[in-house]
């Protein structure tokens, strides 16, 4: 892929979408350890070239990866206990004696367990275990200090105040009074160091995953949320970059108007950006966050790409997303600056939803690949952009995304006419519920789109209960997990044969 010109002419590849937290693991949640390496091996064996993951930031409200506590930090829940055992920072018996569901993430059980293990590893390190890691740790802290110092203090303060929203802290801390901040840094020095240590571990383990992927001819495809959470170190550290009132509360919040997923629209609640303030800094914060994630992955999906052209601003306090208005984004100015600073634009535009001509113009100006989803294709309109015959080559096609139900579940809920539309599109006289997923995967793989992606749930032909996220439903999301038995049942040969037959086999 030549990112400056999107996918080069003739490029064809395929891959799998799977949240890292959904990997098999005996520790209650998927992580950056042996299961990640084994999954890459599965991808290689199946002839796949890309592993697309969801955002990897530390989760806050609703455990959503799209509500990160920091746009720069990694999710501490994703560190691998096996990796720490191998590093001599954790005893194996510290990880035994506790059982977890292998079908869903129980965050109430996982969070204290992982924190306890991290505390043990930090104690071992700070009392002399692995002295050879001290210099790399110090170097990491120095290199990442532009965000790490504030993030570590933010997390230490959140722990001190029982997880409270930072605006509920004492006013001088919330408003970052310099003397008060300096005092807190001294009082919480040990806790701050442990937060920094966790980020160091994640960086090491993530580096091993990326190195293993490269050795197998697999590339990592990341996901960057457009917005950050209101209760995040980003907003606390840089309130001047957001549209906030005198009390640092959002004046407007993010969302989208009524759409395919919700008749009331989606009210996300994230603070929105002050683009004029961003422009005056040369978009430094944006350049830094994009640079940070390109250090972890090979390609970044820009979530909610349409907001770079214009975003739906909803007055704070609104009960639904129906009330709002479109507000201009930074447009080409931001990407021109990013291109100047970082070079090749290794990005995919998630251009779904209500797409207006200015969004397409922005994407095309920088030759960014767009996104198509087969589950959106079968409304009966011959000009539907999600129909394979309407794709251009510089495109990523999905059977469904993390916001869609598994294809089998989606198909079962369609009306008779839409089912007939699906059958006609894939050239079958009829499809039953068990056949449709494979048919849509084959349709995606055989299309002209440069890159074809299927969620693991579709490759396993799973039904109800395998949803990653249900938009508009704040509870029960981000919990689904793949089991070892499911991975063993993956028809690797079928997928490899399809990939070779579709001329998408690269490794």
> Which amino acids are annotated catalytic?
303, 350, 403
Distance of CA 150 to the CA centre of its chain: 22
The single residue listed with the structure tokens 């580096």 is 207
Q: In the chain, what are the helix, strand and coil shares in percent, each to the nearest 5?
A: 45, 15, 45
Question: Closest by alpha carbon to 58, among 118, 122, 101?
Answer: 118
Alpha helices in 60-188 (DSSP H): 81-86, 107-126, 134-143, 145-160, 171-174, 178-187
- Write the CB contacts of 192 (distance below 8 Å, at least 6 apart in sequence): 149, 152, 153, 156, 185
Distances (CA, A) of 112 to 29, 97, 98, 203: 12, 14, 12, 21
CB 393 within 8 A of CB 386: no
Report the C-alpha gap between 289 and 234 in whole angstroms.
Answer: 11
Letter string b/e over residues 400-415, b meaning 16 or more CB atoms within 10 A of that residue's CB: bbbbbbbbbbbbeeee
Tokens of 54: 């969801």
Letter string b/e over residues 305-337, b meaning 16 or more CB atoms within 10 A of that residue's CB: bbbbbbbbbbebebebbeebebeebbbeebbeb
């Amino acid at each position: 892929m030549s990112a400056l010109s999107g996918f080069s002419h003739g490029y064809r590849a395929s891959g799998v979408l799977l949240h890292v937290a959904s990997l098999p693991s005996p520790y209650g949640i998927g992580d950056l350890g042996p299961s990640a390496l084994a999954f890459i091996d599965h991808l290689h064996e199946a002839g796949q070239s890309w592993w697309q993951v969801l955002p990897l930031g530390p989760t806050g409200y609703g455990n959503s990866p799209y509500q990160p506590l920091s746009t720069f930090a990694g999710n501490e829940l994703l560190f691998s206990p096996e990796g720490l055992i191998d590093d001599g920072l954790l005893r194996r018996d510290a990880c035994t004696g506790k059982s977890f569901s292998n079908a869903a993430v129980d965050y109430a059980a996982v969070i204290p367990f992982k924190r306890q293990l991290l505390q043990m590893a930090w104690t071992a390190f700070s009392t002399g275990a692995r002295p050879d890691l001290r210099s790399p740790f110090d170097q990491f802290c120095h290199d990442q200090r532009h965000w790490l110092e504030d993030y570590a203090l933010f997390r230490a303060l959140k722990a001190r105040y029982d997880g409270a929203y930072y605006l509920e802290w004492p006013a001088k801390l919330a408003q970052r009074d310099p003397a008060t901040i300096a005092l807190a840094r001294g009082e919480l020095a040990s806790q701050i160091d442990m937060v920094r240590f966790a980020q160091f571990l994640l960086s090491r383990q993530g580096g091993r995953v990326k190195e293993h992927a490269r050795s197998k001819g697999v590339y990592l495809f990341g996901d960057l949320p457009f917005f950050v959470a209101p209760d995040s170190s980003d907003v606390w550290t840089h309130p001047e970059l957001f549209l906030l009132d005198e009390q640092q509360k959002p004046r407007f919040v993010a969302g989208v108007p009524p759409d395919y997923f919700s008749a009331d629209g989606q009210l996300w609640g994230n603070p929105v950006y002050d683009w004029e303030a961003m422009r005056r800094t040369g978009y430094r914060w944006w350049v830094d966050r994009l640079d940070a994630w390109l250090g972890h992955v090979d390609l970044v999906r820009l979530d909610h790409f349409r907001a770079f052209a214009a975003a739906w601003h909803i007055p704070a306090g609104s009960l639904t997303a129906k009330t709002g208005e479109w507000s201009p984004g930074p447009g080409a100015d931001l990407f021109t600056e990013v291109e100047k600073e970082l070079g090749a634009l290794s990005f995919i535009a998630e251009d779904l939803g209500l797409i207006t001509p200015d969004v397409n113009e922005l994407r095309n100006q920088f030759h960014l690949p767009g996104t198509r989803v087969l589950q959106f294709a079968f409304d009966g309109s011959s000009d539907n952009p999600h129909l394979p015959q309407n794709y251009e080559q510089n495109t990523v096609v999905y059977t469904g995304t993390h916001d869609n139900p598994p294809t089998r579940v989606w198909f079962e809920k369609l009306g008779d006419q839409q089912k007939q539309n699906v059958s006609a599109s894939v050239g079958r006289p009829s499809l039953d519920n068990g056949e449709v997923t494979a048919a849509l995967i084959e349709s995606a793989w055989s299309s002209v789109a440069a890159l074809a992606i299927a969620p693991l749930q579709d490759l396993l032909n799973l039904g109800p209960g395998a949803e990653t996220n249900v938009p508009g439903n704040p509870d029960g999301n981000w919990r689904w997990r793949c089991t070892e038995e499911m991975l063993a049942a993956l028809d690797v040969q079928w997928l490899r044969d399809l990939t070779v037959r579709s001329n998408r086999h690269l490794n």
